[in-house]
Chains A and B, each alone.
Chain A
Amino acid sequence: MQVLQAFIWDPLVFIFSDFQFFLTILIGGLLNGFMYSLVALGFVLIFKASGVFNFAQGAMVLFAALTFVGLLEMGWPMWLAFIATVGVMVLLAYLVERLVLSKLVNQPPITLFMATIGIAYFLDGFGQTIWGSEVKPLDVGIPRGGFEIGQVYITEFELVAAATSGVLVAVLAVFFQKTRIGRALRAVADDHQAAMSVGISLRTIWVIVWSVAGIVALVAGIMWGGKLGVQFSLVLVALKALPVLILGGFTSIPGAIIGGLIIGAGENIAEVFWSGALGGGVQDWFAYVLALGFLVFRPQGLFGEKIIERI
């Protein structure tokens, strides 16, 4: 009875007695969720195009942010640093395809997954060897203030982050739907062999999709770096993107956004309302358990393609 009260009754009372506060938490969580979606987007892109579960996305976020901050510290103007970092990420994509993926064609998915873990380790070490491992503040001129709408407090930074991810998704959607390359990408995602048979170069497509994922990682890195400072713990943020990913489905870009929102909001609410019952730190695992719960009922995630298995 006591447990029931702590888990259900107390939070409910809390919500209705102070609805404004609940809304603040909810909106803060939703905006945070957009930031998770930013990281999850990179995973989805690569999985869609190559069926590789790219564990290195978190390392790419860290590496891109470290490079960007490092160039800024060397006195480069911001636009030049951004372009240079994009260049570095494209180069990285090329090297990954050249040195790793092309050698592992036709291997089982687990091998490719392990290879991306290897890439992740390499990037973590490489980035920190070059740029150092201390926490670096990153300020790209996003306002830090906040304002209230009907007593609900919203920070401008989170609003900008949400808008950025919205724009990014829109751009990606147009890119996927309207351009020639986008069509080729979708063809590859649908069926590798069929795509190759109509003359789409798989290797070019992989370089492109890893480059796009690298650019998404850069944007995510700038946002998260602006929020937390550029440091190693950005890699842990990427782990948080995994439940977002399985909630939304590995292959769905809108799924990444919706999943991010659900995880962000759920996590914030759980942290505030259940820490009384469970002790603090619920955020560490809540996202995973929530995703696990969803998966039991919808194994392919909310928006994933239906899994059909044949013998």
Chain B
Amino acid sequence: MIYRDAGQFKTSYASDQAILPISQDRWFMLGLLFLAFVVIPLIGSDYWLSTILVPFLVFSLAAIGLNILTGYAGLVSLGTGGFMACGAFAAYKITTAFPELNIVLVFLSSGVIAAGVGILFGLPSLRIKGFYLAVATLAAQFFLVWMFNKFPWFTNYSPSGVISAPPRAIWGDVIVTGATATPHARYLFALGMVVILALMAKNMVRANIGREWMAVRDMDIAAEIIGIPMLRTKLLAFAVSSFYCGVAGAAWAFIYTGSVEALAFDINRSFQVLFMVIIGGLGSILGCFLGAAFIVLLPIFISNVPGILGVNVAVDLVSHVEFMILGILILFFLIVEPHGLARLWQIAKEKLRLWPFPH
């Protein structure tokens, strides 16, 4: 009844190409942005902002990165953690070498460095595909984490191998990174960054290059025959994906945890991001956010359930049960809705269009 597109005519090419062609969607999105930028900082507690919303944003960014590679270009990667580590350590090296550089530029350049590394490890994708490629990206994962762990140059010879994000201001004295920044500043900075980058990603996958990626995903030989250059398309997918992962890694180290060691980006991180992409929906930017929200909230929910029920359960048992439930949920989602949460959202919208007269 409320959600109708009748009477909304597209009278220009611009309105035809809009990301949200229906005005209800636009209002919804505006309301969501208002909620995220204004309401949540006003009412959110420090705990909520710094342990739930900031990691959610960081993971969303990483999930967008992986989704571009796996969901749009069809190249399965298990090296996300390695590329995130790249971004984190690159940002640390850059900002300690040039303390005057604006933190936004630091993040962007660390993304560019991660993109370079991504291209390097994406080169084999020209020869191999499918699971062979997935296993090959494990090389990136293990090699990069080992490298950052092994060579003290990357951590500025810190004896513990841990890098601590220095406080950096975005303009004036609004400190947004490191342990001294307020949760509100960190949240808003992360939010702004994620919104801009997500919008860029959304436009990228609607544009020329996104269509080329999808053609490669659906059948790369056919794509090559209709004249899509394999080298450029695949490597660009790796570059863009690693850029996003790199920025996410830098955000992880600088905004979320404040200090980080290479082992924080181990293989489990890669799997975590892969789950977000799968549960959220392959080939959907919205799905990245849904998947990230799901995977970030689930462990918090599970570990709080015994407390709410008043049962005392050992900590290690909780973590095992968490594994089990995560496994079952992944299977459940794959069986019930292989296209992820984003597809459910779409179905809900379809239903809403006909509601309350479905015939």
A246 at the interface (CB under 8 A from B): yes
Segment touching A, from B131-139, B175-183, B235-243, B345-353: B131-139
Partner of B139, one of A103, A107, A288: A288
In angstroms, Cα B259 to Cα A133, docked, is: 29
The proximity string for B residues 251-267 relative to A, scoring 1 for CB distances below 8 Å and 0 otherwise, is: 00000000000000001
CB-based contact B335/A292 at 8 Å: no
In angstroms, Cα B327 to Cα A242, docked, is: 21
Segment touching A, from B95-103, B111-119, B143-151: B143-151
CB-based contact A296/B127 at 8 Å: yes
CB-based contact A285/B225 at 8 Å: no
B192 at the interface (CB under 8 A from A): no
In angstroms, Cα B138 to Cα A242, docked, is: 9
B27 at the interface (CB under 8 A from A): no
B contact residues around A9 at 8 Å (CB):
none
> Could you say which interface size class chain B belongs to?
35 or more
A contact residues around B128 at 8 Å (CB):
295-296, 299
B308 at the interface (CB under 8 A from A): no
Cβ distance B284 to chain A, nearest Cβ, rounded Å:
15
- Given A118-B331, A125-B320, A246-B132, residue A285 in contact with residue B124 (CB < 8 A): no
Kindly identify, within residues 235 to 256 of chain A, every residue whose CB is under 8 Å from any CB belonging to chain B. Answer: 239, 242-243, 245-246, 250
Give chain B's interface secondary structure class: helix
Partner of A281, one of B139, B150, B219, B282: B150
CB-based contact B146/A121 at 8 Å: no
A contact residues around B267 at 8 Å (CB):
239
- Choose among B136, B151, B267 the residue with the greatest number of A CB atoms under 10 Å from its CB: B136
Partner of B327, one of A122, A243, A300: A122
B interface vs A, CB < 8 Å? 70, 76, 124, 127-132, 134-136, 138-139, 141-143, 145-146, 149-151, 219, 221-222, 225, 267, 271, 274-275, 278, 282, 316-317, 320-331, 334-335, 338
A interface vs B, CB < 8 Å? 53, 99-100, 103-104, 107, 109-111, 113-115, 117-126, 128-129, 133, 239, 242-243, 245-246, 250, 278-281, 284-285, 288-289, 291-292, 295-296, 299-301, 309, 311
What are 12 A-B interface contacts by the 8 Å CB criterion?
A104-B335, A110-B70, A113-B131, A114-B278, A114-B334, A118-B331, A246-B131, A246-B132, A250-B131, A285-B142, A299-B127, A311-B221
10 A-B pairs with the lowest CB-CB distances in the bound complex, closest first:
A125-B323, A122-B327, A121-B327, A118-B330, A125-B324, A288-B139, A285-B142, A118-B331, A285-B143, A129-B320
